[in-house]
Amino acid sequence: MDAVELAAVASDTSTPVQGLRAVASLRAVVDSLELRQVEEALRSGESWSSIAAALGVTRQAVHKKYGKRLRHIEATERGQG
């Protein structure tokens, strides 16, 4: 199912369990997209502060969520992980 289909199922309250599964799937999709965007923003020279502002969170929150994960990705890409 694509994101549009998932959103339709997630917003349909006639089948709550299916809706909840769709919400969980959407959350995974959104988390993956957010990680990719944060990673690309950093590669493009954006600061943690500007990324945080775009996401509506604090710099500390976005750094805590992604700092370690992105360092691991970078190390893996360099063949160090």
**Domain residue extents for the chain:** 3-77
* Residue 79 per-residue DSSP state: T
Say how far apart CA 61 and CA 17 lie, in whole Å: 31
pLDDT for 57: 97
Say how far apart CA 54 and CA 3 lie, in whole Å: 22
Whole-number percent of the chain with pLDDT over 70: 91
- Record the pTM: 0.79
Q: How confident is the model at residue 71 (pLDDT cuts 50, 70, 90)?
A: confident
Q: What is the residue-averaged pLDDT of the chain?
A: 91
SS3 46: coil
Averaged pLDDT, 47-53: 95
